[in-house]
């Protein structure tokens, strides 16, 4: 149960209109004595430690990205722009043999050593994360969805914990911070960017996985292309990330694997649960089709 839901449950149990610190303390004591105090899910020490594994790996990946950007900068200063080809075996050999000034050469050599060390550390942490994901039935279930690997599946299981504490997929999206900010009054309704109040690491993983999932899943692919054409590709990426999160939530809640993805379209308990069989993306997106008159 979320902290806001706990406060609401405590407030609902207190029917008197007079509210003081003494009355609140008495009501809390009464709920505790009667064992009616709302509970909250707390991750175990083992789950907290596994979160550190994923966060540490993510930090090293960010450090590696910064090192790669600096090496790209060195190559571009010499008039070479190889982009991803710079990280192939031939590209790294070309970078090592590049003639540079004394200090530029020192910088290049140090960065290459750091890159090699980071690659080895990330490889070891990735193997550890894969091994831990194999031990988690929920993570194995989530990996049946296209674009979802051991890192995202393990992070989802560790972050959501007991999925039964979420009644709707909208609550899950709010928990991760993938719902829009809102400032509405009367008939005026204003929706802004996402709240970003949840786990930023989870949002990053969902966006990255959503890009891959949109290429492999027909429903997500058409949704992304339609929204990217209508608004902006950044908005489309976040929207796909939310849809992917909703799918993963219902996969865990109903113990259903892909491609029989169990989704609740609007995150409401009043909507029926349906099975959607994914089809490969083909043809132009629906938003680009125009009726000829």
Say if CB 182 and CB 197 are below 8 A apart: no
The CA distances from residue 272 to 61, 163, 170, 243, 281, in Å, are 41, 19, 15, 17, 26
Q: What is the model's pTM? A: 0.75
Confidence band, pLDDT 50/70/90 cuts, at residue 257: confident
Q: CB-based contacts of 31: which residues, under 8 Å, 6+ apart?
A: 10, 13, 37, 38
12-15: long-range contacts at Cβ-Cβ below 8 A with a sequence spacing of 24 or more?
none
Dump the DSSP string for 105-125. HHHHHHHHHHHHHHHHHHHHH
Domain-by-domain residue ranges, the chain?
Answer: 1-14+22-39, 45-135, 139-279
Q: Which residues pair with 276 in a beta bridge?
A: 261
What pLDDT does residue 17 have? 63
| Mean pLDDT (whole number) for 124-133 | 96
| pLDDT tens column, 16-46 | 666 778 887 887 788 788 777 777 788 889 9
CA distance 242 to 58: 21
Pairing label, strands 274-277, 180-182: unpaired
Residues in the chain: 293
Angle of helix 218-230 versus helix 200-216 axis, rounded to 10:
110
| pLDDT tens column, 89-126 | 999 999 999 999 999 999 999 999 999 999 999 999 99
Highest mean pLDDT among 1-5, 53-57, 251-255: 53-57
Owner of token pair 């308990």: 269
Q: Is the pLDDT of residue 200 over 60?
A: yes
């Amino acid at each position: 149960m979320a902290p806001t839901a706990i406060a609401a449950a405590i407030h609902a149990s207190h029917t008197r209109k007079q509210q003081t610190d003494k009355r609140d303390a008495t009501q809390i004591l009464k709920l505790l004595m009667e064992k009616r105090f709302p509970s909250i899910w707390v991750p175990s020490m083992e789950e907290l430690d596994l979160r550190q594994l994923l966060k540490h790996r993510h930090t090293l990946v960010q450090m590696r990205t910064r090192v790669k950007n600096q090496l790209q900068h060195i190559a571009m200063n010499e008039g070479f722009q190889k982009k991803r080809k710079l990280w192939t075996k031939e590209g790294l050999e070309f970078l090592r043999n590049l003639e540079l000034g004394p200090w530029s050469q020192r910088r290049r050599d140090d960065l290459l050593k750091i890159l090699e060390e980071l690659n080895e550390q990330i490889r070891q942490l990735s193997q550890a994360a894969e091994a831990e994901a194999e031990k988690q039935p929920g993570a194995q279930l989530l990996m049946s969805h296209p674009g979802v690997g051991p890192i995202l599946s393990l992070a989802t299981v560790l972050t959501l914990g007991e999925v039964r504490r979420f009644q709707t997929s909208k609550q899950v999206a709010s928990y991760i911070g993938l719902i829009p900010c809102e400032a509405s009054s009367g008939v005026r309704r204003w929706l802004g960017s996402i709240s970003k109040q949840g786990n930023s690491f989870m949002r990053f993983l969902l966006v990255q996985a959503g890009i891959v999932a949109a290429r492999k899943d027909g429903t997500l692919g058409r949704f992304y292309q339609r929204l990217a054409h209508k608004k902006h590709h950044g908005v489309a990426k976040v929207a796909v990330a939310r849809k992917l999160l909703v799918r993963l939530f219902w996969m865990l809640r109903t113990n259903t694997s892909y491609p029989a993805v169990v989704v609740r379209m609007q995150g409401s308990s009043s909507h029926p649960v349906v099975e959607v069989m994914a089809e490969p993306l083909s043809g132009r997106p629906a938003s680009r089709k125009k009726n000829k008159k």
